[in-house]
Amino acid sequence: MNVYTAIYIRVSTQDQRTDSQLGELKRYCQQRGWKKVQVFQDKISGAKSTRPELDRMVKEIRAGRVERVVAYKLDRLGRSITHLCLLTDELARLGIPLVCSSQGIDTSGSNPAGKFQLDVLKAVCEFERNLIRDRVNVGLAAAKARGIRLGRPSTLDKRAGEVIALKKRGLGVRAIARELEMPVSSVHSVIKQSDKIQSQDNSSRVARLRLRRK
C-alpha cells in the first residue's frame, strides 16, 4: 500500500490565507526527504465540533494510508485539549508520528527526543482526563446533595402514576399489584416513596406557614 505524509493546515476564517503554513510545511517535508505528501486544509474555527478535512485525514490514518502527520502547531490540530489528547492517543496507538514544525515536536522513533515528547503529551492528556473526571464527580455529588436522581428512570418510576391513581381509588397494595401485574414489593416501594415525598411536601408547607405567621 502506498503511504504518504499528511500535512494538516487550519485557519479560523474563510478570509485567512493558508499560504504561509503550507509553504513552510512543504519546505519542511522536502528538507526531511518526505516527497510524497497530501494536504488536508480546513478553514474553520478551532471550536467547531466537526472539521471535514481533519475528519477525512483521520479516516485515511485509520485506513493505513498515512505514514506521519505534519502540522504547524498543536493548536492547529485539536478542537480542544481533550480532542487533541484523543487524537494523540490514537496516533500513538497506530504508530503514526506527529510532527509540529514550529514547536520542535517530532514523536517519530528516529528522533532521539521523540519518546520523551510523546510521554509528555501522554502525561498532559492523562492530567486533562483526571481533571474532567474530577469535575464530573464533583458535579454528580452536588446533584445528589440537591436530591436529584441520577441515571435512567427505573421501571417503577414509569408505573408510579398508575400505582398512585389506583391507591387514590382505595385499592390496597395486593389489589394494585394484581391490577397492574406488578410484584407486590414493587407496588409497596412506589407507595412508600410517594408517602415520603408527600410527607416532605407537608413539612415544607408547615414551615412556610410558620414563617408567614412570624
List the catalytic residue out of 12, 45, 80, 204: 12
Q: Is residue 141 predicted with pLDDT exceeding 90?
A: no
**Per-residue cell: 100:** 509540529
32 pLDDT tier (thresholds 50, 70, 90): very high
How does residue 155 score in pLDDT terms, banded at 50, 70 and 90?
Answer: low
Q: Catalytic: 194? A: no
pLDDT score of 119 more than 60: yes
Q: Which residues make Cβ contacts (< 8 Å) with residue 124, sequence separation at least 6?
A: 81, 85
* pLDDT at 130 (0 to 100): 72
Query: What's the average model confidence in pLDDT over 151-179?
Result: 75
Q: What is the mean pLDDT of residues 123-133?
A: 71
- pLDDT digit string, tens, across residues 44-91: 765 555 788 998 999 999 999 999 999 998 888 876 777 788 888 888
Taking a C-beta distance cutoff of 8 angstroms, is the pair 68, 34 a contact?
yes
Burial class (CB in 10 A: 0-12, 13-18, 19+), 26: middle
Cβ neighbors of 174 (< 8 A, separation 6 or more) are 184
pTM of the model: 0.57
Q: Three-state SS for 181?
A: coil
Q: Which residue has the higher pLDDT, 206 or 56?
A: 56
Specify the pLDDT at position 49: 57
Cβ 12 vs Cβ 44: under 8 Å = yes
The domains located in the chain, with CATH, are 4-134 (3.40.50.1390), 155-213 (no CATH)
